[in-house]
Amino acid sequence: MLKRTRSMPRLLGLVTLALLGGALAAPKKVTGYGSLGITDGKPGGTYTLVLGDSPQSLNYYGVIDNNLGLIAQQLFDGLVEFNYATYKVEPALAESWTISPDGKVYTFKLRQGVKWSDGQTFDADDVVFTYDQIIMNPEARAGDAASFKLDGKQVDVKKVDANTVQFVLPRPSPAFLLQMRSFIMPKHKLLKFSQEGGAKPADINNAWPSNVAAAEVVGTGPFKLGSYTAGQKVTLVKNPNYWKVDGKGTKLPYLNGLDFLIIRDPQAQVAQFLAGNVDQLNISGAQFPDLKQREVSGAPFKVMRSTALFGSPPFVAYNFDAKDAALAKVFSDARFRRAMQSALNRPRIIDAVYNGLASLPGHGVAPVNKEWYTNTTKQLGTFDLKAAAAALDALGLRDTNGDGVREISRGKNLEFDLTYATDSSVYPAIATILQNDFGKIGVKVNLRGILAKNLLSTGQSGNWEMILHAFGDQPDPELRKPIWQPGGALYYWHRSLQPAKDGDRPNVARMAPWEKEIYTIFDDAATTTDRSKRKALYTRWQLLFAQNLPVTPIAKPENIGAISNKYGNYIYNLGVIPGYNPVPLIYQK
């Protein structure tokens, strides 16, 4: 009913208001997911999920912590959220919105009658407080101040009336609406930790530590905090004030309780799932056959494959700024990277590492993302060691001394380190396959295993030669700009492009022509409001990516979830994606 808000927001806003006829309580009706197998459920029951570790705090903006994120998305909501099926933005705490013709003023009409879980009324003050005092506070550890500064100028947020909030942007930003998924916090509970309430800017991080009294943690989400037992379990209970209903008007969530068991070890998670103590678990391709076999032979759960948009496709990158000048020169050469792509046995990796449960990757955009994806399969080429060897020969990288390894210069072998994560179920096997195949064409690779936790910081330090890593896919390329725009904060394979200070102009002079083009594309797309123009820009970017391989994507793993037969309405849920929370629809059969 509330779809396609984005294309005609103003009209729809009016229609919505008219339809509701001024009624005070305006719950959101969640319908139209028949294609995902969603039916009307019945209230009751408890559902148990796993957390990979204890939450470090209960203040979503105080720590960057994935485990807290999983809990927080059940406790809080943003102004807007994703459609489960189309990933389009639709109303949440905001009932409707308008965007000024110049694309700079966003006005949100808030849903009326929404109450915090402690019974207080939710209104514009909470929204303004959350954005102004927390999210835009640069000292809030998990705030997002940078996204609310455009061209060095602050986004202005103000209350129009009790149910209307307005954001004024210094320049148009077509992806701004996606930022509005940020969770809104209760002003009446957090004021004393904010500058407005007289505290220091950094004090907001100290709110709601993990040993806080449960009644203090107040949200608008489907659940509220019941209790937290350190290192063991987080218990959430139904929020009776939640603002969503199903097609029949039954209040959501269906569940009475939602438990998170804290289980760090992936094997232990599987054990608890098999024992029936955990009701839903996301698993890897390596685990799929075992669990699917159990399902086929009558175990009380289902294992489901899905090609969800989110998820992290691994890639290999070569360091354009490698410490060894000869290597840096070779790595910067797109011909070398293309040659090495021919020695990348994607079908074998998909078969041996993912058990066949992965597909060919896109370039920066997931193939399932219909809105932005451009088919680049042809540029992936095929696995062909002879062609790879010939291409390396053509580059002058030959084995002249007969030791089986090509020389990069006289007397110096083409030999480099591959940095990968040892504590992962897929990276070690991929690294070993690469090492083996590269060795066959006279390229010597030494494996350098580190902990997954240190991968990115190692990448950013520049202290590596070849790396195996992954970044998550997002619905809009704009959200991944720091990764894929040359000179971006996470574009670490060509680190010498990064500006000395965040927000400054990157070192454009050092960019290769194709990097310059990509750089301009991202800058243009960030201010272009016209959809088809953006689409054209991003299409060009994906082709440049596929051609020049700043990084070489390997495969796009399928997402696999296992769910107990006791529950209905399961939709695959990767983890922490603010604005994408299908749990309220789950019901116990």
Partner 1 sequence: MLTYTLRRILGMIPTLLVISAVCFAVIKLQPGSFTDQYLEDPRFTRETAAAISRQLGLDQPALVQYGRWLWGVVTRLDFGYSFLQNRPVVSVIGDLLGWTVFLSLITLLFSWLVAVPLGLYTAFNRHGWPASIANFLGYVGLAIPDFLAALLLVALVLQLGGTNVGGLFSPAYIDAPWSWAKVADLLGHLWIPVLALGLEGVAGLMRQMRASTLDVLTQDYIRTARAKGLPQHRVIWRHAVRNAINPLISLAGLSLPSLISGTIIVSIVLSLPTIGPLLYDSLLNKDQYTALTLLMLSAFLLLVGNLLADLALAWADPRVRYA
Partner 2 sequence: MTALPAPTSTPSPWALAWRRYRKSRLGVIGGWLLILLYASALLAPFLAPYSITAQHEGLSYQPPQRLHIVHEGQVRTPFVYGFKQERDPVTFARKNVEDRETPIPVQLLVRGEPYRFLGVPTTLHLFGVPEGAYFFPLGTDQLGRDLLSRTLVGGQVSLTVGVIGVLISFTIGILLGGVSGYFGGWVDNLIQRVVEVLLSFPRLPILLALSTLIPARWPSTWVYLGIVAVLALIGWAGLARVVRGQVLAARGLEYVTAAQAIGARDLRVILRHITPNLSSFLVVTATLALPGYILGESALSFLGLGIKEPMTSWGLLLKDAQNFQTLRLYPWLLIPGLFIFLAVLAFNFFGDALRDAADTQSR
Q: Which residues bind partner 1 (CB under 8 A)?
A: 48, 53, 56-57, 59, 62-64, 138-147, 202, 205-206, 209-211, 226-227, 229-233, 235, 259, 261-265, 267-268, 271-272, 274-277, 451, 453-454, 456-457, 460-461, 471, 479, 482, 489-490, 501-502
Residues near 535 by Cβ (< 8 Å), separated by ≥ 6? 371, 372
Q: Which does 395 bind (CB under 5 to 8 A by kind): partner 2, partner 1, none?
A: none
**Are 491 and 485 in contact, with CB atoms under 8 Å apart?**
yes
Kindly state the smallest distance separating residue 452's Cβ from partner 2, in Å.
11
Which of partner 1, partner 2, none lies near 195, with the C-beta cut-off 5 to 8 A by kind?
Answer: none
**Partner whose binding site includes residue 202, from partner 1, partner 2, none (CB under 5 to 8 Å by kind):** partner 1
Q: How far apart are CA 221 and CA 413, in angstroms?
A: 59
Which one, of 342, 335, 440, 337, lies nearest residue 383 by Cα?
342
Nearer to partner 1 among residue 63 and residue 184 (C-beta): 63
Note the residues at the interface with partner 2 (CB under 8 A).
266-267, 270-271, 274, 285-290, 292-293, 296, 348, 351-353, 355-357, 415, 417, 419, 422-423, 428-429, 431-433, 435-436, 446-451, 454
- Alpha-carbon distance 57 to 74, whole Å? 15
* Chosen from partner 2, partner 1, none, partner binding at 356 (C-beta under 5 to 8 Å by type): partner 2
Least Å distance, CB 80 to partner 1, is: 17
Query: In the complex with partner 2, which residue's Cβ is closer, 352 or 387?
Result: 352
Closer to partner 2 by Cβ: residue 30 or 445: 445
Structure tokens at 211: 């040993």
Give the 3-state secondary structure percentages of the chain, helix then strand then coil, rounded to 5.
35, 20, 45
Q: How far is the CB of 429 from partner 2 (least distance, A)?
A: 6
Partner whose footprint covers residue 15, from partner 1, partner 2, none (CB < 5 to 8 Å by kind): none
169 CB burial (10 A radius; 0-12, 13-18, 19+)? buried
Handedness of CA 345, 347, 352, 358 (dihedral sign): positive
Nearer to partner 1, 137 or 341 (CB): 137
Grouping H, G, I as helix, E, B as strand and the rest as coil, residue 186 is: coil
CA distances (Å), origin 197, targets 143, 217, 368, 392, 468: 18, 18, 46, 64, 46
Q: Which is nearer to partner 2, 171 or 348 (CB)?
A: 348
- Residue 553: is the preceding peptide bond cis (ω within 30°)? no
Q: Please answer whether residues 467 and 319 qualify as being in contact, where contact means their C-beta atoms are separated by less than 8 angstroms.
A: yes
What is the spatial distance between Cα 7 and Cα 134, in angstroms, rounded to a whole number?
30
Find the shortest distance in angstroms from Cβ 267 to partner 2.
Answer: 5
Pairwise CA distance, residues 422 & 589, whole Å: 41
**Considering CB distances under 5 to 8 angstroms, the limit depending on partner class, which of partner 1, partner 2, none binds residue 35?**
none
Min dist. Cβ of residue 58 to partner 1 (A): 10
Please, are residues 563 and 302 in contact by the beta-carbon 8 Å criterion? yes
* Beta carbon of residue 499, minimum distance to partner 1 (angstroms, whole number): 10
- Nearest residue (CB) to partner 2, 131 versus 416: 416
Closest distance to partner 2 from the beta carbon of 421 (Å): 9
